[in-house]
Structure 1
């Protein structure tokens, strides 16, 4: 019996080196380009923007820094993702417990009766059992758990980056709205002066009442735009409050007339996205977890060997329970296998293989989407840079035209209608310039997010 037990133990230790199921290999990707198409010719630079992870500091705004810190500390979505990460850690510990033996204890007192009489039974003992991981079922489960844990960590990073980008874009929008308001206030003051001028000229009999009405209409139109901006700013501020984990009713950002600095365009290679973008790491780790579950499903077809050892005392009298004749023990291996399950194991294996194929295709899709997002961001920045230069020329021409038309009006050479058209053209050009500035800043945030925001896969 001892020889049999030793042979079983030796065989178990040898077989635990085996693991059924395919070893993980990352699925093939579409051909990765050597460079991005739309950043060709740009003066892209290596900056700390994508190295230390604190990408928002490149915009040089202390309020944005404080808001990002509040997001990190109080955003409910971040707290949920952190809880899911702890779940993955617990699941991994549970999977690793399969490597350890199980120790149990039992203590019982029974009184039973038959036709022959009544008898007492007192039992107590300890038992140790261990199921060697003959076919790698536990190891594959642990492998899947490790992949899920890494994926959960990357998922937390992906959510953090997404929320940071959303907050930064909302903050940019709010700051540009403040600048729009300053512009409209300046325009309101200018239109008020124009109205006073037309009223003076009307009272002097130099112009018709229609010019005064046009000036009044123009002024009231600007005031209506100011009221619209108040509503837009309130919504932007409320969005920032929720992202920062604060109730909108007790949250506020003072207007200071400042604008974020536009950082240099960071350089990157397409292949670096695989390590920089946490969402791609999430997708790839899901493939690894699905691959490991194939091995778990295949191990269900093979028998399990259980090595057991138990010992204790059994007696009909509590007084002599611990005496030597009442000691009992058991030692030996047990080999068990399922012979028929109606196709359940085959269905589980097919399900695992299909899940792996789906995860692999999802990863390929995510990589293509990441390349598209990055190319879109580069293309948008390039187009907006050209638009900004062009719009600056438009603003300069509109201002010059307004100055000339106003001088001609003062000289009585044109009607006030031409002044109104020129002033509205200048206002529209200036507002368009601010819109383009906003779009450039937001596109730079999109580029940072598309490049992974400085996050990268830990070395381990």
Structure 2
């Protein structure tokens, strides 16, 4: 029976824990995406990853941007991960969270300290009046005091206050780890999108430069026809207006391209003056989006994982706040030697020691503890609402970019056909103008149509790249789910 007493005491203390049970929230997702393709809707887009349902899809590694097949983009991504200020900030926050976790774990362990002192003091002395009323000096005594000791204390975690703090800090550290993953993913997506926009601006610049050469030839032709008396001054003015307007558009495109280059430098953690890219004007082709996506893709998003871990941290803080209602028990011990002579300080007659528990409990605090509990519960509700909002926003982003990626692919094809037709119309108008059968206004209208169609095509290409890039970001850079989310190693510490 005596052997069972420690076990019974441990069970009793565990039953007294103030920590509320934590139930991880479930992802409340629909059976299928609203904007999935009809084939995917019939199959059910949200397929459980564990049962192996659904067709196979291409795997995407952590270097998901390599799907675009652009070596310059690959190099920029490597530089961004080494110097992006946002990633560096997230790394620092993770280190701080890990230090807070280590500090809370240390509070569960006993503390041991040592002290040593040596003093020499004069006591007594001064003057006093004798019976004759005379002031007489009194001699004092000089005393030495030497001591050497050890002290230890340990706060017993009867109500789960210390373990709750550890749980809260562990969850916070895990959330910070997920924040770091989210910061990296966001920086990677930003680098890719800024790079695509820069190349789109270059493509527009090259098209405008080619158009300027053609418009210059048209202007010379119109001027020659005017000198020959077969064209009006209005034709010349219209040709000059088109040429100058295109020059202005080219300057604007050059400005846009320079600003995107500056933005890339900032994402890489460099000064704009120390960074430059050669102009190519080549937009990479977007990767093909699979029709089927696994249901666990949203679970691997680091921002959703971080929101869930913050819920766990807030839940643990409720228990910490509740524990303030109960007394704290601290075991203290001290021992050492004390003597007036240093030579025989370490001897048995000079030994002193003390051992005993201390109990402390607040009897009245004016409602501070109940306010702290209510604040912790409000923080838990806030974390739950934030988690829900994060999931809903993730669903919206996936829906938005699913429909954008699919429709923009069709729009790009249609717009390319429209551009081909506009160019054919311009060729016909030029020939007719040279033959004198139509006015220059017809050529001007055809040129404007080609300009608009080409600019629209470049914009659609960039928007399509943006949609696929954002969709990859929404599914944490992978078309397939991971077996385990990154950052979970902290849970085992």
What TM-score do the two structures reach when normalised by structure 2?
Answer: 0.86
Measured after TM superposition, the shift of residue 74 of structure 1 is 0.9
Which of residues 265, 273, 276 is equivalent to 1:249? 273
Partner of 2:161: 137
Partner of 2:485: 457
Measured after TM superposition, the shift of residue 334 of structure 1 is 2.6
Q: Is the 8 A contact 2:202 2:281 kept in 1?
A: yes
Partner of 1:40: 37
CA root-mean-square deviation:
2.5
Q: Is the 8 A contact 1:16 1:132 kept in 2?
A: no
Which of residues 326, 338, 341 is equivalent to 2:362? 338
Partner of 1:369: 393
Q: 1:56 to 1:67 in 2, by over 3 A?
A: same
How far apart are the structure 2 equivalents of 1:21 and 1:330? 34
Ranges in structure 1 where 5+ consecutive residues have no aligned partner? 1-5
Measured after TM superposition, the shift of residue 318 of structure 1 is 3.0
Measured after TM superposition, the shift of residue 289 of structure 1 is 0.2
SS of residue in 1 equivalent to 2:38: coil
Which of residues 324, 327, 337 is equivalent to 1:313? 337
How far apart are the structure 2 equivalents of 1:163 and 1:213? 49
Partner of 1:3: none
Q: Is the 8 A contact 1:36 1:269 kept in 2?
A: no
Q: 1:419 to 1:10 in 2, by over 3 A?
A: closer
Partner of 1:403: 427
Measured after TM superposition, the shift of residue 57 of structure 1 is 0.7
Which of residues 467, 472, 476 is equivalent to 1:448? 472
Partner of 1:92: 101
Q: 1:135 to 1:114 in 2, by over 3 A?
A: farther
Q: Tell me whether 32-41 or 171-180 shows the greater mean CA deviation.
A: 32-41
Q: Tell me whether 202-211 or 130-139 shows the greater mean CA deviation.
A: 202-211
Deviations 1:285-308 (Å, cap 9, x if unpaired)?
110000001111111211222222
How far apart are the structure 2 equivalents of 1:259 and 1:216? 31
Q: Tell me whether 307-316 or 169-178 shows the greater mean CA deviation.
A: 307-316
Measured after TM superposition, the shift of residue 46 of structure 1 is 2.0
Measured after TM superposition, the shift of residue 283 of structure 1 is 0.9
Q: 1:185 to 1:179 in 2, by over 3 A?
A: same
Measured after TM superposition, the shift of residue 88 of structure 1 is 0.6
Partner of 1:433: 457
1:55-74 paired onto structure 2 within 5 Å: 55-74=64-83
Deviations 1:153-180 (Å, cap 9, x if unpaired)?
1101111111211111111011011111
Deviations 1:334-355 (Å, cap 9, x if unpaired)?
3332222222211111111111
How far apart are the structure 1 equivalents of 2:202 and 2:213? 17
SS of residue in 1 equivalent to 2:115: strand
Which of residues 134, 154, 162 is equivalent to 2:178? 154
Q: Is the 8 A contact 2:201 2:281 kept in 1?
A: no
SS of residue in 2 equivalent to 1:206: coil
Partner of 2:123: 113
How far apart are the structure 2 equivalents of 1:11 and 1:344? 34
Measured after TM superposition, the shift of residue 16 of structure 1 is 5.6
Measured after TM superposition, the shift of residue 12 of structure 1 is 7.0
How far apart are the structure 2 equivalents of 1:112 and 1:384? 93
Partner of 1:26: 24
How far apart are the structure 1 equivalents of 2:4 and 2:362? 24
Does 1:170 pair with 2:185? no
Q: Is the 8 A contact 1:21 1:292 kept in 2?
A: yes
Partner of 2:405: 381
How far apart are the structure 2 equivalents of 1:74 and 1:273? 28
Q: Is the 8 A contact 1:165 1:449 kept in 2?
A: yes
Measured after TM superposition, the shift of residue 45 of structure 1 is 6.7
SS of residue in 2 equivalent to 1:134: coil
Q: 1:85 to 1:42 in 2, by over 3 A?
A: farther
Q: Tell me whether 383-392 or 410-419 shows the greater mean CA deviation.
A: 383-392
How far apart are the structure 2 equivalents of 1:65 and 1:440? 19
How far apart are the structure 1 equivalents of 2:296 and 2:64? 17
How far apart are the structure 1 equivalents of 2:56 and 2:450? 36
How far apart are the structure 2 equivalents of 1:434 and 1:404? 24
How far apart are the structure 1 equivalents of 2:6 and 2:350? 29
Measured after TM superposition, the shift of residue 268 of structure 1 is 5.8
Deviations 1:199-248 (Å, cap 9, x if unpaired)?
22222222222222222221122111111111111111101110011110
Q: Tell me whether 408-417 or 85-94 shows the greater mean CA deviation.
A: 408-417
Pairs aligned (count): 452
Q: Is the 8 A contact 2:298 2:394 kept in 1?
A: no
Measured after TM superposition, the shift of residue 314 of structure 1 is 1.8
SS of residue in 2 equivalent to 1:48: coil
Ranges in structure 2 where 5+ consecutive residues have no aligned partner? 41-54, 126-139
Does 1:194 pair with 2:218? yes
What TM-score do the two structures reach when normalised by structure 1?
Answer: 0.92
